[in-house]
Chain A
Amino acid sequence: MIGTIVKREILDYLKSAKFQIGLVVTLVIAVVATAINIQDFKLRQQDYTAAREEMKGNKYEVLIYRPPQVLSVLVQGKDRVLGSKASLTTLTIPDRLTGYMGSRGAERQRSLSGFGSVDFAFVVRVILSLMVVFLAYNAVSEEKSFGTLKLALANPVPRHHLLLGKGLAGLAIVLGSLFIASTASVLLMLVQPFIVLAGSDVMRILNLVAASALYLIAFYALSLFVSVLVNRPSTALMILLQLWIILVVIYPHLGVDIAENFFRLPGDRELSAMKQAAFQPYEAEFNKVRDAYRYKGDRSPETGRRYFELQALESQKSHEVDLDFGRQLTRQMRLAQNLCLLSPAVLFDRMANRYARTGLDEYERFMQGLARYWQTKYLGLQKLRYEDLKAYQKAEVPAFDYPTERTAEAWIATIPQGLILCLMSLILFVLAYAAFLKKDVR
């Protein structure tokens, strides 16, 4: 029985103009966006490899580059805007990355801000979710206004079978469209010779598709619920579109705006004052040692080492202030995210960015790796200069690597978001179910 209903529903969807238009639009945008992003990734990858080869820096100023993420082809996230170069000296542990030009090129890059990116995540978040709304808004309401609901229920079919059949068919169509869009995008990636996907990347892509599925299912459940609740299809569509605007546009927006104004962040003056205060206890000694080393020509190993140590200490102290500031920014971001806990779009974004390694989590992991490298390897190298100059001259710049996140970690980190999405869908399905059982079908 359910099979019959599911079959009819699926056929009905396949024949409808909304599905055909929606699928074509989705496919075209997904393919074009992925193709553009692949080109963009290729250029960034080339720049990155060339930079590592050619712009090596020296033993004192060590240059570290951040590789572009391969999955940014599907989920741009912040990968493009977070910078790609860090320059380490005894005096500085960078708290942010810059462009290849360093701070000099940074400000003009902003002229381009305001242009976002279109990627697979966008296709899911905006295009497919709209398509889901369009597919499901009249699932029940139209049958009622056409009289077919009465005709169907005049048969020995339990009501919940009818809803279940509709739900299953709708889900099959939604997930089918998602599958087609993601397969097209991923295939396009795979045929590129310069894109090599590791096993973990494939796992992450699967996770990404699963997160997309959860997100779309939540929207489907919402649409089904409204469709059961509201009798006139056009009213149902209006309500759903308005809910969509709230959930995808307005609510996340307000969340960010509230979070941004919730905490008071220290200004640049305050930050530099804090940095000074942190180094205050050593200031006098530092001045003395510096004067001795630089101006009085005291090149004894003790003075040299002490000068170096104090320099390192100063950068460490100011890095701590930077870190604290960074933590405040993170707290602000978390607040924005938590305020938007009920927006499926925000939950989906968090999951997608995590899986694609293009969110702030990955960036912070990189920056932590950088700080650790400075502390353990870079300082060790510089120390040699004062302890054993010959060894220093022979020594190589130690290689930088930072621990990449395992897929399982990303998976565990996104469990809350996934659970909330599941719970949302479940509640909405149950509500739709209850409303349908009680529905007046006259």
Chain B
Amino acid sequence: MKTIIKRELLDHLQSIQFIVLLVFSITLFSANGIIFAKKFRQVDSTFQQRTAGSQPHPDTQIIFLFRQSNPYLFLAEGGDLDRPSAYFLMAKGYFSASSAFLSRDYKLPDIPKLDWSFIIKTIFSLYVILLGYAAVSGEKEEGTLRLVLSNPVGRVRFLAGKYIAILCAALVPLLAGCLVSSVILAIVLPQILTFDTVSRILFLLLLSAAYLSLFAFLSLLVSSLIRRSSIALLVLLAVWVVFIVLIPDISGILAQKLAKVPSDYQTAKNLGPFVQKEVWDKINGIQARIDRGELRTEEAVKAEAEKAYESGQEKLRFYEKNYEDSVAQRARLARDLSRLSPIALFQYAADDIALSGIHGEEEFLKNISSYSKIYDAYVMKKTGKLISQSNWMFSSSVKVDGKSIDLHSPQPEAYRGDMSDFPKFVERPARLSEAVRYALGDIAGLLVWNILLAGLAFSMFLRSDVR
């Protein structure tokens, strides 16, 4: 078996595919290092500017919470740079993404960022196919398969040797590239290369090995099934296109159909009637209740107005949150559907490790939620009252016993005093173990693909005719 691996490896190392892959790998990974170092510096300096100073907020009415720049984005960007970089937080745990801090770079083509996971998932998977498509069919065509198997070499050993050789031939340029990228990052941004980062890098490499191994099995399977190597390559490329483009794209569209989310327009259209019914009706109903004698005193009227405001506020939030949740639900469905493709499994697991995907965002929102309690306590302490800023306001006047009373929506009190004891928001990014827990399902999926394809490849090769 050693002989087979040695010969195969030598064969691969001398092939143009290997040399091209090595060149690509080093070029792309160094581009990755340079670009991400530059981007990180830029994003990080913006973050530092925004959060600098001992008193980052002018008052307690509404505060901005800024997202820390994620140092792991070079592993998997996961849409992180397109997410809002700031949220505003109000009393009672209301927070919302600030559209002013969305990425404004909308004119460039929407292509995935050049991170490690992109290079591995597209370029390397394709090269594993190129290294492996002729493993069996090519040898059949040239007649060398008969020659090899005429010796006392078991078929299992033969195929296993091929598999190991393909994987090694792909992993060598991968490691070289990763090393180049890491060295560039270590020189330009020494602060981000911590023990934690290194362990995430190693974990991503393990994940990549599992991912590439699946493609090695796949190409061995197709190569044993199809006699002509050029047709085998064609079939493999078709599968690759299906995995990398068709499944993710079609699941996005399918999710739109299946999730039954009211469209952006429907939600916007229904907002008006909803506000009328759930919010304004109560305010308008106050006069009627006064007339009916249900509310007699000014205090009662004001308390009722406040109650109506509070419930309207909650309903409005609920309406918006409902929409947001249903969109998020649809996104989740799309992701689940696209998990049919091993490429998606790999991507999502990589995103989790780099804390950049949907789970990274969820973690951040959890951070905000837990911080909002501290914030509320502080506001309570300083102003004695918790009132949240709202998207809607009212001002109206009612008559009680012939006396006109102005009703206004309550405004949060702006405490502008000494804020030196203001609790600072410190983001606590998820630890690697937590990140891995998120990725567990996807990793298991990759392993299942491996086992399945390995089983099929070996059984097909054992049963195939060697003519």
Q: Which A residues form the contact surface with B (CB < 8 A)?
A: 17-18, 21-22, 25, 29, 32, 36, 39-40, 43, 47-48, 50-51, 54-55, 78, 81-82, 84, 96, 99-118, 122, 126-127, 130, 134, 138, 233-235, 237-239, 241-242, 245, 249-250, 252-254, 256-257, 259-261, 265, 267-269, 325-326, 329-330, 332-333, 336, 349, 360
Q: A100-B265, A107-B84 are in contact. Are A118 and B99 (CB under 8 A)?
A: no
> Is B108 on the interface with A (CB-CB < 8 A)?
yes
Residues of B within 8 A of A326 (CB): 107
Q: What 0/1 pattern do residues 343 to 359 of B give for CB contact below 8 A with A?
A: 00000000000000010
Chain A residues near B102 (CB-CB < 8 A): 106-107, 110
CA distance A254 to B27 in the complex (A): 10
Q: Name the contact of A115 in the complex, choosing from B100, B130, B235, B252 (C-beta under 8 A).
A: B252
Residues of B within 8 A of A (CB): 15-17, 20, 24, 28, 31, 35, 38-39, 46, 49-50, 79, 82-84, 97, 99-102, 104-114, 122-123, 126, 130, 134, 138, 228-231, 233-235, 237-238, 241, 245-246, 248-253, 256-257, 263-269, 271, 320, 323-324, 327-328, 330-331, 334, 338, 358, 391
Q: How far is the CA of A349 from the CA of B110 in the complex (A)?
A: 13
Q: How many angstroms from the CA of A47 to the CA of B395 in the assembled complex?
A: 33
A252 partner residues in chain B, CB cutoff 8 A: 109, 111
Q: Do A118 and B327 touch (CB < 8 A)?
A: no
Among candidates A107, A233, A269, residue contacting B97 with C-beta atoms closer than 8 Å: A107
Contact B264 A105 (CB under 8 A): yes
For A272, give the chain B residue with the smallest CB separation: B100
Interface contact A242-B238, CB-CB below 8 Å: no
* A171 → chain B closest CB, angstroms: 21
Q: In the docked arrangement, what's the CA distance between A252 and B108, Å?
A: 11
- Within 8 Å by CB of A238, from B16, B123, B249, B271, lies B16
Min CB distance A375 to B, Å, is 23
- List, in ascending order, chain A residues with CB within 8 A of B38's CB: 261
CB-defined contacts of B111 to chain A, threshold 8 Å: 252-253, 256
B138: contacting residue among A234, A267, A268, CB under 8 A:
A234
Residues on A with C-beta less than 8 A from B246 are: 29, 118
20 chain-A/chain-B pairs, Cβ below 8 angstroms = A21-B238, A47-B264, A81-B110, A84-B264, A101-B267, A101-B323, A111-B328, A111-B358, A115-B252, A116-B252, A118-B245, A138-B230, A234-B229, A237-B233, A250-B28, A253-B114, A254-B114, A269-B49, A329-B104, A336-B109
Which of these, B99, B107, B228, contacts A103 with CB under 8 Å?
A: B99
Q: Is the CB of B104 within 8 A of A233?
A: no
**A-chain residues with CB within 8 Å of residue B106 when the two chains form the complex:** 81-82, 96, 329
**In the complex, are the beta carbons of B16 and A261 less than 8 A apart?**
no
Q: How far is it, in angstroms, between the C-alpha of A142 and the C-alpha of B269 when the chains are bound? A: 63
A102 CB contacts on chain B under 8 angstroms: 268
- Chain A residue numbers with a CB within 8 Å of B82 are 110, 113
A110, B108: Cβ atoms closer than 8 Å: no
Residues of B within 8 A of A100 (CB): 263-265, 267-269
> What's the Cα separation between A349 and B338 when bound, in Å?
26
B112 nearest CB across to chain A (Å) = 7
Closest to A47 in B: B265
Chain B residue, CB-CB nearest to A101: B268
Q: Is the CB of B101 within 8 A of A112?
A: no
B327 touching A336 by the CB < 8 A rule? no
Contact A114 B267 (CB under 8 A): no
Q: Is the CB of B250 within 8 A of A118?
A: yes
Determine if A115 and B123 form an interchain contact, defined as CB atoms under 8 angstroms apart: no
A109 adjacent to B31 (CB under 8 Å): no
Do residues B269 and A116 form an inter-chain contact, with CB atoms below 8 A? Answer: no
B39 engages A239 (CB within 8 Å):
no
Q: How far is the CB of A383 from chain B (nearest CB, A)?
A: 28
Select A333's contact among B20, B107, B138, B267, beta carbons within 8 Å. Answer: B107
Please tell me if the beta carbons of B126 and A245 are within 8 angstroms of each other in the complex: yes
With known contacts A108-B327, A115-B251, A238-B130, A55–B269 Cβ distance under 8 A? yes
Least Cβ distance of B27 to chain A in Å? 8
Contacts of B107 in A (CB 8 A): 326, 329-330, 332-333, 360
Contact A50 B108 (CB under 8 A): no
| Nearest B residue (CB) for A25 | B238
Q: 20 other contacts beyond A111-B328, A115-B253, A260-B105, with CB at 8 A cut-off?
A: A22-B234, A39-B257, A43-B263, A51-B268, A99-B264, A100-B269, A104-B391, A105-B324, A106-B99, A108-B97, A108-B324, A118-B246, A249-B122, A252-B111, A253-B114, A260-B108, A261-B35, A329-B106, A332-B105, A333-B108
Find B230's partner among A106, A234, A265, A349 (CB 8 Å cutoff).
A234
- Taking a contact as CB atoms under 8 Å apart, the answer to whether A267 and B110 are in contact is no
Q: What residues on B are CB-neighbors of A330 within 8 Å? A: 107
Bound Cα distance A384, B6 (Å): 87
In the complex, what distance in Å separates the CA atom of A241 from the CA atom of B271? 52
Chain B residues with Cβ under 8 A from A130's Cβ? 237, 241
Whole-angstrom CA separation of A254 from B113 in the bound complex: 10
Q: Is A17's CB under 8 angstroms from B17's CB?
A: no
**B269 contacts A50, C-beta separation under 8 Å:** yes
- A-B CB proximity, top 5 nearest: A115-B252, A47-B265, A111-B331, A100-B268, A107-B97
